Structure 1
Amino acid sequence: MNPIAHFLTLARYNAWATQRLLDGVAALSEQDYRRDAGLFFKSIHGTLNHLLVGEHLIWRRRFAEGLSPIVALNDEAEPDRASLAERLLQGAAHWQPLIESWPVERFDGVLSYTTMRGTQATLPFAATLAHVFNHGTHHRGQITAALTQLGQPCPELDLVYMLQQEQTQP
């Protein structure tokens, strides 16, 4: 398997699923959007904000710039709902060109970074990149559960739906 093709699929999926989720969340009232829904980061807003912090402000900078910013995982990086959605979509769009920029050998290497606790870590590059996309899937799943609890329609976010949609597009 070509790791670049594999991770480009995950990057496309991440952007696709984020857009679909945000479309589903858009129908929520402000009260429901910010209500404590029993999620790890409390509300849908808190969980979306965590995705911005974790995926884009921390992990993407580690992969793209070799930097390990110190940001709390529950910091409210973007309090405005519309701006948060836009930043999530913009952040998701940055993964594909980043992945395309790496030589195939990079995926067999390691990623060295500083953890949130300030210690050095070195992990397998490809597995750690897979973690980033898996992490997003995990939290999008939490948000879809919250949408269901709120009586809202829940977008279908399975990867196979994106793959089927891509097959039908010219």
Structure 2
Amino acid sequence: MNPRTHFATLARYNAWATRRLLDGVAALGEDDYRRDVGLFFKSVHGTLNHLLLGEHGVWFERFAGRASPRVDLGAEVEPNRTRLAERLLEGAARWQPLIESWPAERFGGTLDYATTKGVPLSLPFAATLAHVFNHGTHHRGQVTAALTLLGQACPVIDLVYMLQEEQAKP
């Protein structure tokens, strides 16, 4: 599989898994949604907010060739629960077109950017892009654990289920 195809699959998975996760989160009452359940960013809301900030507000900007923002990765950027879900879905939908716009040689290059503290870095492009999608998977896993802890059904978000769904479509 070539890198563009691989990362486009991960982008589709990211959007698919985010939709399914948010469907599961919708069943939570407001108190449970905001309750500190011991996640790194405390609550389901805090974790989803971090995904919005990190994946879409920081990493997408870097990969799109724009300036790397200097932000606190724990800052609340969207307090409204409904709008946060909408923004996560909108952000997830932007990755696949971006990935498909890059020439093949881009995946073998580097990503030059500044950290959120302003420190310049140059990292392998493809490995750093893999980090973005792994990061999302990590935090979605935290949210599914929180859903289970809070007595809700855990959505099935394994990549192979998305692939099966895609294969079943005519």
State the TM-score, normalizing by the size of structure 2. Answer: 0.99
> Which aligned pairs between 1:86-165 and structure 2 lie closer than 5 A?
86-165=86-165
How far residue 118 of structure 1 moved from its aligned partner, in angstroms, is 1.5
Q: What is the identity, as a one-letter code, of the residue corresponding to 2:120?
A: Q
Q: Residue 39 of structure 1 contacts residue 47 of structure 1 at CA under 8 Å; is this kept in 2?
A: yes
Instruction: Report the 3-state secondary structure (helix = DSSP H, G, I; strand = E; otherwise coil) of the residue aligned with 2:98.
Output: helix
Tell me the residue number matched to 1:51: 51
Equivalenced residue count is 170
Letter of the 1:123 counterpart: L
Q: C-alpha offsets along residues 35-90 of structure 1, whole Å, 9 cap, x if unaligned?
A: 00100000000000000000000000000033100111011110000000000000
Q: Following the alignment from structure 1 to structure 2, what is the Cα–Cα distance between the partners of residues 118 and 167?
A: 44
| CA-to-aligned-CA distance 1:149-169 (integer Å, 9 cap, x gap) | 011000011100100011111
Which residue in the other structure is 1:33 paired with? 33
Post-superposition shift, 1:116? Answer: 1.8
Structure 1 CA distance, aligned partners of 2:9 and 2:119?
A: 32
Distance 1:166 1:118 in 2: 41
Please state whether the residue corresponding to 1:112 is helix, strand or coil: strand
Q: Which has the higher contact order (CA 8 A, sep 6+)?
A: 2
- 1:66 and 1:113 in contact (8 A); partners too: no
Q: 2: CA distance between counterparts of 1:100 and 1:3?
A: 10
Structure 1: which amino acid aligns with 2:43? S
Kept in 1, the 8 Å contact 2:71–2:117? The answer is no
User: Secondary structure of the residue that 1:4 maps to in structure 2?
Assistant: helix
Give the alignment's TM-score, normalised by structure 1: 0.99
Output one character per residue of 1:91-133: Cα deviation in whole Å (capped at 9) or x when no partner.
0000010001000000000000001222110000000000000
Secondary structure, counterpart of 2:64 in structure 1: helix
Identity %: 74
Matched residue, 1:12: 12
Deviant stretches of 4+, over 6 Å: none
Unmatched runs of 5 consecutive residues or more in structure 1: none
Deviates more, 1:62-71 or 1:145-154: 62-71
